[in-house]
Every structure is written in structure tokens, then in C-alpha cells.
Structure 1
């Protein structure tokens, strides 16, 4: 029913090394992330987009492994080429704390929507600073997106095939088109490991 793509091919420039090799609870980060999706009947295939160094440490022997591209967009596209189910979840390899409740809510809402995106409200004062110009903006109009982001597989495949540019997230490819996107409440615990202090 659902394909899962885990994108784990980043260079780790902000982290200082390949963060997939960092350890949480004595386990490699990539394995902690994969573990979040294991034993869910709805997930029929797990596709990990990364590199040979990471493939050697992945414990899940059923995972489909594919080498990533030079950009996140290229890596997602390579994963999508192998996705065979009607729905697909695209997840950051560096988010090892996503809950099964969030995953299942996304999948459940895909039955009636083209895309389902978890979001967090902005709670701090928000300012836009460009050069010397400062503007305080209404934080109620802004949201942070998380992953996994869910899609009808054909829709997101078609958009990746038509677009060559890289994007901030996968939802960006369809947000200006006539598709039904549902935003659900995300989870503060679903943190992305970006810097070493995040561990």
C-alpha cells in the first residue's frame, strides 16, 4: 500500500561529518530512523537513498538500497523510480524520532488527499531580514514543515520528472498546482539532527 523513501545522502557539512554514522542509544542514526517504520503493516517497501558507506551498516536486510544523487532532489527522484505502491512517504534520514502515530495519521489521510504534510506552528516572534531592512511578520501565517511527507505516488513522480530544480521540501513541487494538500499537526519530538548539539 505504501512505499517509504528515506533520504540519507547529505554531505553533513553543518554536522561536520556524515551524521548517519552518529550514534543514538548505541545505534547508528540511520538504523534508528529505519526502526521508526518497521513493523508497520502499511509500509510495504523501504527504500534507502544513500551511499555505500551507509549501506554497509544498515541492519534491515529487506531495505531496497539505491545510491543518491548530487542534490536532495536527485536523490528523491532516484528513490521514486523504485517506488511501486500507490502512496509514498518521503522522510529525512536525520529524523530518528518520528512517532508511529504521526506516520499512521499521514497514511490514513492520504486516502482522501493528494498530499499530507506535518507542520509546526511558529511560536517565536518572526522577523524577515534582507540586507539592512527588517520587517516583523505575522507568525500566524507561517508554519514549519516536517517529514515524512506523504503523496499519491504518481503525482509526486510526475512532478519530479518535470522539474529539474532542487527544492526546500517535496511539498514545494505541488503547492502551486491544483492538488489537495492536507496539513496536519506535527510533533516537536520529530526533530531533525542538523548539528552535533542536536544529539
Structure 2
């Protein structure tokens, strides 16, 4: 397969706090964004990488790539949008591969093997996502703070990234989402709205999305353990 990856990285991560965006935080000596990028740059099926970043941070990100010696031309930096969905859409305008992965900038623990399996499953059906079975009991809660119901946990999966799609399908899904005003929390939701089937590939609980300070402490522990 000849695949590309869009990494939306325009968010500020307000729940993390601190003076810089969470994708630029230090993870054992290297910014989270660089840690995340490296996995895709090393994968033989990924030939194009697009970073959709805040318009105010385009030059900063390009300098960061130079500082960490990311080979020139390996990563395209483009201005993102106000919301994650907007940033992915902007990234798709730049990416020109038949297959596309979409990955959170702050999930640095994705593995080469998971990317390979995900792409294989996407090739078989057009769309695939990484996910893990939910461990906790989930409650549906109404606006008054009262429980409305308890869904069957055996049918619930926590979705991760990357998510993989045929590019034409994902572009169509984003265009339709923009036309209808559908605000999706992930790209698979836009594809599902077209009526397309999305296959689930079991991922790993360590594929964390770094959102809070507690996540950063756990990430450092995971990175040190993997580096031993």
C-alpha cells in the first residue's frame, strides 16, 4: 500500500494546562509531536506525512522539524482549522495518496505493527479504526445528572487513532459533514454517516491520548519501560 498520514496538531489542549500546546511538551527529552511523527516516518507503507497545525505555529513547527533533523520533504506542514475536523479536512487537501491514516498528534505510543494491521483491514473494506474493549461499566446520564441506562459493556469499545480510510471515501465524508453541519468527534463518525462500514481492529491500552498532567506522568513511565 501507498499511504499517507494526516496529523491534526492545531489544538491547544486546555485540560493539560501549561504555557505550551500539549503536542510540544517534553516526553523524556523529545517533544511529544516528534515522538509521534517518528513511528510513521519509519513505516514502509507511509510515504507522505501532513501536519495540520495552528496558522500561528507553522513556522515554529517547521523550525522544530529542522531542530530534530526530520529529513526535508518528509513532512508537509499546512495551516489547520479551528476544530480538529477542520484541520483534518485541510490536511486532506494536501495529501494525495490513495490511502490515508488520521492520527492524534498526542498519541506517541502507536506501534509499527498496529499501523500495518490497520492498513490491511482498511484495504479489505475501505475503513478501519483501532479500538480497545471498555473496561468500566458505562452509564448514560441525562442533563439532570440522573442515570438513563446502562449499555451492554460487551458491545462497547473505546476508539483510538490512527484510523485508516480510502482517501476518496474520507474526502466524501468530510464534504458531506461540512454540508450538513455534522460535528464529529472522530473521522469514522463522518464515514459512518455515509452508511459505510467501519471495521474495528483491537489496539492496545498503552496507546494513550495525552490530555491531562496525569497522562504525561504515565507516558514518561511507559516510555522509560519501553526503552529498557
1:180 aligns with 2:194: no
Contact 1:21/1:54 (CA < 8 Å) preserved in 2? no
Contact 2:5/2:50 (CA < 8 Å) preserved in 1? yes
CA shift digits 1:131-162 (9 cap, x unpaired): 14213322122211000000000010112122
Structure 2 length-normalised TM? 0.83
Match of 1:15 in 2: 16
Pick the aligned partner of 1:46 from 33, 38, 49: 49
Contact 1:118/1:183 (CA < 8 Å) preserved in 2? yes
Shift of the alpha carbon at 1:43?
0.3
Q: Secondary structure at the match of 1:194?
A: coil
Query: Gapped runs of 5+ residues in structure 2?
Result: 217-228
Q: Secondary structure at the match of 1:140?
A: helix
Pick the aligned partner of 1:120 from 107, 117, 132: 132
CA RMSD in angstroms, aligned pairs only: 1.3
Match of 2:186 in 1: 169
CA shift digits 1:93-133 (9 cap, x unpaired): 01001011110101112221110111111111111111142
Query: Gapped runs of 5+ residues in structure 1?
Result: none
Q: Secondary structure at the match of 2:123?
A: coil
Shift of the alpha carbon at 1:63?
0.4
Structure 1 length-normalised TM? 0.95
How many residue pairs match? The answer is: 199
Q: Between Structure 1 and Structure 2, which shows a larger proportion of helix residues?
A: 2
Output aligned runs, 1:1-199, within 5 Å: 1-16=2-17, 17-50=20-53, 51-52=57-58, 53-58=60-65, 59=68, 60=70, 61=72, 62-130=74-142, 131-134=144-147, 135-164=149-178, 165=181, 166-199=183-216
Shift of the alpha carbon at 1:177?
3.0
Task: Kindly report structure 1 stretches of 4+ aligned residues shifted beyond 4 Å.
Answer: none
Q: Between Structure 1 and Structure 2, which shows a larger proportion of strand residues?
A: 1
CA shift digits 1:71-96 (9 cap, x unpaired): 11110000000111110000000100
